[in-house]
Structure 1
C-alpha cells in the first residue's frame, strides 16, 4: 500500500532541482511515490529529472506541454496513489524530518490538511509563522489572514474529495484550492506545525514575485467564485466593500455598512456553525467596531446590531463605554 505520495510541478527550475530532489529523497521517513510533472520546461529541467528517475524507482515522471501550474498539479494529483499527499515546489528544500513530522500529526491529531512554518532563504532570510488553530485558519481564508502555506502542505487524500486546482489562474491557485476544500467540506480540519520544516527560496524569477501585481484581482475573482452567500446577495457588489475594510483596513460609510454587514453576519454564522469555528467571531466583530469608532454613532449601532450574537455582553458594554472617549 502506498502511504505517502509527493507532488512536484516543475517549470524551468534547473538550477534548483538537484537540491530540491535530494531533500525529498533523504527524508527520515521516505515517501513511497514521487510524482513530478515537467510542465514544458525550456531549460535543462527535463534532462535533470530524467537522470534522477533512472536511478530512483519511486519517481514517476510526466512530461507535458506547458499548461500552467494548476494543470501540472492536477495532472500529478491524478497519478498520486498515496493515502497522504505532500506538496513541494521545485525551488524549495525540505528539512529532513518534514514528512515524518507531518505524517505524525495527520495520523495522531484531528487534522486533515497540515502545513508548517517556512524559513525564507536566498534573497531574504526570515521565519514565516502561520496560525496553528483550525478555527483561526478557517476565518483567515475569508478575512485575509495567514492560512496554509501551499509549498509545505500535506493532506489526507480522502479529505479533499474531487477538489482540484482551478485551471487558468496565474496567481493564487493554491489559496483557491484550499478554500474550495473548506467550502465543499466545512468540517475539514486544518493546522500548521509551529516549526520551519521547509526552506522557502526567494529569488527574482519565482511566480509569487513576478505575478504579485495580480494578487488583488485574482483574490477577488477567487472569492467571488467560491465564497458562500445568502440568496439575494451579490458578491460582485459586496466584495469591494469586504476588501476595503479587511484588506485595506479602511472604515466604511454608513451606507456601505448597511450593504456589507448582512454578508459578514452570514459568513460569521457559516463559519461558526457549518465550519465549527465559532471562537474567532468575537475578535473579528470587535476589530470591525474599533475600525469604525470615528465613523459616528449610527455606524457603530449598525455594527452592534449584527455583532451581538457573537459578542459577550460585557465586551459590548465595555466597548460602548470606551467609544464615548473617542
Structure 2
C-alpha cells in the first residue's frame, strides 16, 4: 500500500464575505459569516484523502488544542479516512484559528493565529520517525515552526521519502533547507520571496525556477492561478513550460493551492508522469474554486469529470 504523509497546520476558519475586500482603515459590513475547518496542512491532508485511490493511505501529523474545534476537526478527518495516530493535543493552548475575508472576485485576505500549531516541535517530529520509515512521500508547508519543517525534511531524506514543499506562507528559506526538497510548489508571491525574482510572466517564472534549481531543488512548479502551473525540471528529458489550467468561474479560492498540492502528491504516488500529475492537480483545484469553503469545497476523485 502506498503511504502518503502530510505534516502541517490545522485551523478553525472564521470566514467573512464582502463585495470587495476592505482597504486599510476601512470598515465594511460582511455579506455573510461562517465557520470552516482549515489550515494548510489539514486542507492538504483532506485533499489527499479524497483524491487518492483505494490502494493508498494518508497520515497527518499536526498539533491541536483540547477544545471543541479540535474534536470537530478530528471527527471530520476520520470520516475522510485520514490516519490520526500522530496528532498531538495540548491542554494549555487553543487550536489554531484564521480570519478569512473573501471578496466578490473570489480573492481573499487571511490572518492566522498559530495557537497549537506553534507547538509542533522538531522533537515531536523526531518521535514520529517510524511514520517516515513507512511513508513513500511527504507533503509539508510553512505554517508550523521552521525547525520542525527542516527536521521533517531531514527525516524524509534519511528514509528515502520523496519531499514536496509548499512554501506558504511566503518566506525566504536558507539553502540548507531547500537542498532537502525534491519538489517545490510556490505561487508567484512565494516564488518572489524565495528568489527575489518578481514573477509576472513565463519568462520571469523561468528565472525564479532557475534560482531554486541552483539551491538544489530538482523540480519547481510555480502555480499561476487560473493560468495553470509553470513546470521546470532539471536532468535528462527535463521539461520547462506551462501546464494550462481549466476555465471555470471561481467563487472562493481559499483552498485552491492546498487542493493542487494534495492532488499533485496523489498523482505522483500513482505513477503519473509529472505533466499528467500537474494536470490532475489543476483539474482538482479548478473544482475547489467553484465551491465555498476550504475543506468543504475539496472534491472527491469521482467528481473530477465535472470540469473539462
| Higher-Rg member (1/2) | 1
Structure with greater proportional strand content: 2
Please confirm whether the aligned pair reaches a TM-score higher than 0.5, indicating the same fold: no
TM-score (norm 1): 0.29
